[in-house]
A and B are shown apart, each in its own frame.
Chain A
Amino acid sequence: DAGVTQSPTHLIKTRGQHVTLRCSPISGHKSVSWYQQVLGQGPQFIFQYYEKEERGRGNFPDRFSARQFPNYSSELNVNALLLGDSALYLCASKTAGTGSNSPLHFGNGTRLTVT
Chain B
Amino acid sequence: QQQVKQSPQSLIVQKGGISIINCAYENTAFDYFPWYQQFPGKGPALLIAIRPDVSEKKEGRFTISFNKSAKQFSLHIMDSQPGDSATYFCAASEAGNNRKLIWGLGTSLAVNP
- The one of A42, A48, A103 that contacts B103, using a Cβ cutoff of 8 Å: A42
Secondary structure at the A interface, as helix, strand, loop or mixed, is loop
Please tell me the size bucket of the interface on A: 20 to 34
- B32 sits at the interface (CB 8 A): yes
- A8 sits at the interface (CB 8 A): no
**Given A90-B43, A106-B43, are A41 and B98 also a contact pair (CB < 8 Å)?**
no
- The one of B32, B46, B89, B97 that contacts A42, using a Cβ cutoff of 8 Å: B89
A86 to chain B, nearest CB (A): 16
What chain B residues lie within 8 Å of A45 (beta carbons)?
100-102
Complex: how many Å from CA A41 to CA B105?
Answer: 5
Are B95 and A99 in contact (CB-based, < 8 A)?
A: yes
What chain A residues lie within 8 Å of B32 (beta carbons)?
101
Residue among A33, A42, A58, A92 facing the most chain B CB atoms (10 A cut-off): A42
- A28 sits at the interface (CB 8 A): no
What chain A residues lie within 8 Å of B99 (beta carbons)?
98-101
Question: Would you give the 0/1 interface string for B78-113, flagging 1 where the beta carbon is closer than 8 Å to chain A?
Answer: 000000000001010101011111111110000000
Residue among A43, A55, A103, A105 facing the most chain B CB atoms (10 A cut-off): A43
What chain B residues lie within 8 Å of A101 (beta carbons)?
32, 49, 51, 93, 99
18 A/B residue pairs, CB under 8 Å, sorted by A: A40-B105, A40-B106, A42-B6, A42-B89, A42-B91, A42-B106, A43-B44, A43-B101, A44-B103, A48-B100, A92-B43, A100-B99, A101-B93, A101-B99, A103-B34, A103-B46, A106-B45, A108-B42
Additional 10 contacts, C-beta under 8 A, given A42-B91, A43-B103: A41-B106, A90-B43, A90-B44, A92-B43, A98-B98, A99-B95, A103-B34, A107-B43, A108-B41, A109-B43
